Structure 1
Amino acid sequence: MASQKVVANGPSKASLPPNPLPRWLRTNNVYLFIPNIIGYARIILASISLVYMPIHPITCTILYGVSCILDALDGWAARKFSQSTKFGAVLDMVTDRCTTSCLLMFLSAAYPDQPSLKILFQFLLSLDLASHYMHMYAMMEKGAGSHKSVDREQSKILNLYYTNKTVLFTFCAFNELHFVSLYLLSFPSPSAARDAILPFIKGMAYITFPICAGKQIINFVQMARAAETLVNIDKHNRMLASQLNGDKSE
């Protein structure tokens, strides 16, 4: 870069950015980067929450909630310590998809007297997995450096969703809060203490519903745009192949 001083033996020490990590935390092993360690902690907490999910809703909610909060922390750590990696990005997305899928799987069986909800939760689970898989694959085929690198020409909605951290956090947080509130409401009331917070849980379910519904719309748009991107790539590749074959035949 123009601002970088170059000497005979390479860039000067003054041009190198200072490492904000203490010496004992510095490593070149990607597996041991701080954001990825936070990611492992998320997996452990989410896994333990699954054990408590059918038997102890409060414990499960606390563990699940801490795992979700760490989702925001690992992104901050990646930027703070300049440790953003492709492995970390995929680990983060896979953890998100797995935790949400497990919660939706539980919800699909949590309301046996309302079979239509089972179909709805199964649909939402499928939409979540399909949209994110297709989106990541389409962005990879497009040559984007990240699945969040969505330009406005591809989709104004997705561009706002992925580039505005406030929007991204709000939709993801409210989406999880809505499903968690439905999870808590699926349990019978065993105590007066739970009866006392029941209005709060119901209120949270109502308040978060519009944003959760919007998140499902975003998932659908994401899947549709990913399909469009892949089709356009296919068309372009087939056109190049046709032109190449035409040149050979001549």
Structure 2
Amino acid sequence: MAKETLAEVKRRRAAVEVVDAKIAVDLATAQSYSENVFLFVPNLIGYTRIILAAASLHWMSYHPKYCTLAYGISCLLDAVDGHAARALGQASKFGAVLDMVTDRCTTSCLLCYLSSAYPDYALAFQFLMTLDFSSHYMHMYSSLVTGSKSHKLVTSDVSRILWLYYNDSRTLFFMCAGNEIFFVSLYLMKWIHTPITFSSITPIASLYWLLGDLTWPALLAIVSFPIFLAKNIINVVQLWKAAKILVGLDLLERQKKREEKKQ
């Protein structure tokens, strides 16, 4: 059984064309305007996301409205670039990595701010940053070394949870959006202190018995918390599955060396 598994891994790796790094650099340097991967529409959207994320970080400490607007648009564009890539036939490895790196860095920067805004929970935010980066890096690397064309191509026999998570773009967007909404809500809780029931709208004011002194960011945080929790459980599963894949490859390679010594 182990030999068959090793053969399958070999076939998958052989199916992935290996290009010398110097050749790849030369091709990228000499690419024409009509076929410039850097200028693909999805990647232009990615650059826009980075600019908006940088703007939100600039405003984060003193202008919550501008910050939230820029951050929110940047996150929403995360769903647009994938659709553009498929519609225009402009999917690229560079774009996939750009998208993931932008997501990780943007969320981490917000978590850094939350660590200073909520010093008592700084360790928890640091743990979330570590989990986010490590799970995605190990998942990306394990996908690469097993010959997968995309880190989103997870089969149900490897992990049903990850298959459900990555297989449906709507589920993926819902989980990621809910996770970001939770963090943004924590950010806005530092700026907005007026209870929802102070509203002049009679139906809302009459809900004091239910909402009490909750602000709308606090209510949003409560509603999005289950999604945040589920998203980070998935991160743990992703980290563990990637670790098992890498360990399995190590065992296969060690077996191969032992067999070569016997010959």
- Does the alignment pair 1:151 with 2:155? yes
1:66 aligns with 2:73: yes
SS at match of 2:252: helix
Q: Deviations over 1:193-224 (max 9, x none)?
A: 9x759732221111100010000000000000
Offset of residue 192 of structure 1: 9.7
Say which is worse superposed, 48-57 or 221-230, in terms of deviation: 48-57
TM-score normalised over the length of structure 2: 0.79
Deviations 1:162-209 (A, max 9, x none): 0011211110000000000001102364x899x759732221111100
Offset from partner CA, 1:100-130 (integer Å, 9 cap, x none): 0001111111023xx1x11111100100000
Give the letter aligned to residue 233 of structure 1: L
Partner residue in 2 for 1:28: 35
Q: Is the 8 A contact 2:115 2:122 kept in 1?
A: yes
Q: 2:86 aligns with which of 79, 90, 95?
A: 79
Indicate if the aligned counterparts of 1:175 and 1:212 stay in contact, CA closer than 8 A. yes
Map of 1:10 onto structure 2: none
Q: Give the C-alpha shift of residue 71 in structure 1.
A: 0.5
Q: Unaligned 5+ residue runs, structure 2?
A: 1-32, 205-213
Root-mean-square deviation (CA), in Å? 1.8
1:15 aligns to what? Answer: none
2:145 alignment partner, one of 134, 141, 146:
141
Q: Distance in 2 between matches of 1:40 and 1:246?
A: 54
Query: Which residue of the partner structure matches residue 122 of structure 1?
Result: 126
Deviation sequence 1:35-89 (CA, Å, 0-9, x none): 0000000001101110101111111000000000111010110011010000000
SS at match of 1:27: helix
Q: Give 2:109's aligned amino acid.
A: C
- Write the letter of the residue equivalent to 1:66: I
Equivalent residue, structure 1, for 2:56: 49
SS of the equivalent of 2:90 reads: coil
1:210 counterpart residue number: 226
Asked if the contact 1:27–1:33 (Cα under 8 Å) also holds between the matched residues in 2, the reply is no
Cα deviation code 1:145-178 (max 9, x no counterpart): 0000111111000000000112111100000000
User: Does structure 2 conserve the Cα–Cα contact (< 8 Å) formed by 1:111 and 1:186?
Assistant: no
Tell me the equivalent position of 1:184. Answer: 188
**In structure 1, how many angstroms separate the alpha carbons of the residues matched to 2:253 and 2:150?**
22
CA contact (8 A) 1:35 1:75 kept: yes
- Relative distance call for 1:200 and 1:65 in structure 2 (3 A) is same
Aligned residue for 1:18?
none
More helix by share: 2
The ranges of structure 1 where at least 4 consecutive aligned residues each deviate by more than 4 angstroms after the TM superposition are: 195-198
Classify the secondary structure of the residue corresponding to 1:187: coil
User: Is contact 1:178–1:212 with CA below 8 Å preserved after alignment?
Assistant: yes
Q: Note the residue ranges of structure 1 that are not aligned, 5 or more in a row.
A: 1-25
Counterpart of 1:130, as a letter, is S
Q: Which one of 98, 109, 116 corresponds to residue 102 of structure 1?
A: 109
CA distance in 1, matches of 2:165, 2:123: 27
In 2, distance between residues paired with 1:188 and 1:30?
A: 43
- Aligned-residue identity in percent: 52
Paired residue type of 1:239: Q
TM-score (norm 1): 0.83
2:157 partner letter: E
User: Partner amino acid for 2:181?
Assistant: L
